[in-house]
Amino acid sequence: MNKPKINGLYAITPDLNHTGDLLDKTRQVLAGGAQLIQYRNKSADDALRKEQAGLLLQLCRQYRVPLIINDHIELAAALDADGVHVGRADGSIGDARRRLGRNKIVGASCYNSLDLALRAEESGADYIAFGAFFPSQTKMDTVPVSTRLVEQVKKKITVPVVGIGGIRLANAITVIQSGCDAIAVCNDLFATGNIKAQAKQYARLFTAHHAI
C-alpha cells in the first residue's frame, strides 16, 4: 500500500479483550467510511495485542484502509502494519522511521504544543495529533487544546493535523472547521448502538465541509 493521505475519520479502537467483538465493531466502522484505524489496547498483554493487531491488519487490508499501531514500534514492524503512532514516552519519530522505513506512516502526539509539532515535522512525522479538544472518556491525563492553536499550527507546518479528545458528532464540526485534516474518535463510535451509521455521519461531516 502506498502511503495514504491522512484525512477524514480516524477511528481508534477501545480496550476490548474479546477479539471477536473488536473485529466485529471495527468492521462496522470500516463499512461506515473510516479512512484510518488505530489499534490501541492498553489492557492487553503482548500475546493478545499481537493476535488482535494481526487480525485487524487483515481486516483493514480488505477495506484498503491503513492500520496504525499505537505506541508499539516493534509490533508494527513485526506485522508489517501500515504505521505507528508515538507519544512522548513511546520512542522517537526517528526511531520509528528507521525501524519501519520511509513508506510507513509515523504519527506523533503533540498535545497542545506548537513547539512539539514543529519538531515532529522536522523529525519526519507524517501527521501530528493535537488534543484533547474536549474532556475524554478514553484518556484521563489530557491537556486542553483550543481551535485557535490549530489555526496557528496550520500556518507553520505542512503535514496533516489530527484532532483528538472527546470528539462527538455534536462537536466534531468545530474541530474540522479549525483546520484539522482528520478527527480521531473512539468512544463515540465503538460505544454506539449502530456503529456503521455513526461512522457514516462522521464521514458526511467531511464531505459537507469540503463542499463549502
Does residue 163 form part of some domain? Answer: yes
The pLDDT, as a whole number, for residue 138 is 65
Does residue 105 form part of some domain? Answer: yes
Of the candidate ranges 66-75, 109-118, 139-148, the one whose mean pLDDT is the lowest: 139-148
The better pLDDT of the pair 51, 141 is held by 51
b/e per residue 36-51 (b: at least 16 CB within 10 A): bbbbbbeebeeeebee
52, pLDDT greater than 80: yes
| Residues 156-172 pLDDT 10s | 999 999 999 999 999 99
Does residue 2 form part of some domain? Answer: no
1, pLDDT greater than 60: no
Does residue 1 form part of some domain? Answer: no
Does residue 27 form part of some domain? Answer: yes
Asked if 109 is an active-site residue, the reply is yes
- Residue 66 burial (10 A CB sphere; 0-12, 13-18, 19+): buried
Domain membership of residue 77 as a residue range: 8-211
Rounded Cα gap, residues 143 and 178, in angstroms: 18
Does residue 30 form part of some domain? Answer: yes
| Residues 64-90 pLDDT 10s | 999 999 999 999 999 999 999 999 876
Stretch 110-139: mean pLDDT, rounded? 91
Active-site annotation holder among 40, 49, 97, 104: 40
Does residue 156 form part of some domain? Answer: yes
Asked if 102 is an active-site residue, the reply is no
Does residue 42 form part of some domain? Answer: yes
Instruction: Count how many domains the chain has.
Output: 1
The CATH number of the domain where 69 resides is what? 3.20.20.70
Active-site annotation holder among 49, 109, 113, 178: 109
Asked if 139 is an active-site residue, the reply is yes
Active-site annotation holder among 119, 139, 154, 168: 139
Residues in a beta bridge with 10: 36, 184
Task: For residue 101, give the 3-state DSSP assignment.
Answer: coil
The pLDDT, as a whole number, for residue 16 is 97
Say which amino acid occupies 88.
Answer: R
Q: Where are the beta strands (DSSP E) in 40-95?
A: 67-70, 83-86
The better pLDDT of the pair 31, 131 is held by 31
Task: Output the pTM of the full model.
Answer: 0.94
